[in-house]
Amino acid sequence: MNRRPELCRNYQRGSCKYGAQCRFVHANS
C-alpha cells in the first residue's frame, strides 16, 4: 500500500469527530 495520506477536511475546519482514530491526516500547519 503506497497511497498518499489525505488531509482531513473536518479537522481543517476545526471539528473532526474521529480525533486520533480518523483515517485522514490531521496537519497542524
pTM: 0.62
**Tens digits of per-residue pLDDT, 1-29?**
456 789 999 999 999 999 999 999 998 76
* Residue 14 belongs to domain with CATH number: 4.10.1000.10
Place of cell 500547519: 29
Q: Report the pLDDT value the prediction gives residue 10, as an integer from 0 to 100.
A: 96
Chain centroid offset of residue 19 CA: 8
Q: Which helix (H) or strand (E) holds 12?
A: helix 9-13
Report angle CA 28, 11, 13 to the nearest 5 degrees: 105
Domain that holds residue 19: 1-29
- For residues 24 and 6, give the distance between their C-alpha atoms in angstroms, rounded to a whole number: 6
Predicted pLDDT of residue 13: 96
pLDDT of residue 28: 76
Number of independent structural domains in the chain: 1
Reduce the DSSP state of residue 20 to 3 states and report it.
helix
pLDDT in the model for residue 27: 85
